[in-house]
């Protein structure tokens, strides 16, 4: 199982962003095997981005999110207290973005490598990175 950072999930589903062909193909393969996951934080973060007009989700947020979280290809990891507690143990040098902190903590607790292009997360070394 691989956990997707929000931007990777959106780039993959929307067909834009900075994913290279090998990453897209890898994500497609993982999806066909039901080996992809996102944190509940990504659903919330996507709603915020859509509401602010930073992403366009057609035909609308509700329909898009229902399709994008289809359990036939992706698992949505739920909110729980353990994730909140785990993010408190991240090093002081880890950046303060709440979504990134919760997603990194989810990766640590689930033992799923994280697919991300976020250099701050990668350089932190707090969780395994999917390459």
CA dihedral (57, 64, 4, 77) positive or negative: positive
pLDDT in tens, 74-109: 999 998 999 999 999 999 999 899 999 999 999 999
pLDDT value of residue 30? 98
Q: In this structure, are residues 57 and 50 in contact, taking their beta carbons and an 8 Å threshold? A: yes
pLDDT in tens, 35-71: 999 999 999 999 999 999 999 999 999 999 999 999 9
* Sheet of 114-115, strands arranged across: 75-77, 36-39, 2-4, 114-115
The domains located in the chain, with CATH, are: 2-124 (3.40.50.1010)
For the cut 90, the answer to whether the pLDDT of residue 16 exceeds it is: no
Query: Rounded to whole angstroms, what are the CA distances from 4 to 23, 93, 117?
Result: 12, 22, 10
For the cut 90, the answer to whether the pLDDT of residue 22 exceeds it is: yes
Tell if the pTM clears 0.85, that is, is over it.
Answer: yes
For the cut 90, the answer to whether the pLDDT of residue 17 exceeds it is: no
pLDDT value of residue 79? 87
pLDDT value of residue 60? 96
């Amino acid at each position: 199982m691989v956990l997707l950072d929000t931007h990777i999930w959106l780039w993959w589903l929307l067909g834009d962003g900075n994913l290279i062909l090998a990453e897209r193909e890898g994500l497609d393969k993982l999806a066909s095997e039901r080996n992809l996951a996102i944190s509940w934080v990504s659903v919330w973060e996507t709603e915020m981005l859509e509401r602010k007009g930073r992403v366009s989700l057609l035909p609308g947020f509700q329909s898009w999110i229902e399709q994008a979280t289809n359990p036939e290809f992706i698992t949505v990891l739920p909110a729980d207290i353990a994730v909140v507690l785990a993010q408190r143990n991240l090093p002081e040098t880890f950046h303060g973005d709440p979504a990134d902190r919760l997603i990194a903590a989810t990766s640590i607790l689930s033992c799923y490598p994280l697919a991300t292009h976020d250099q701050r997360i990668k350089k932190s070394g707090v969780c395994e990175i999917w390459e």
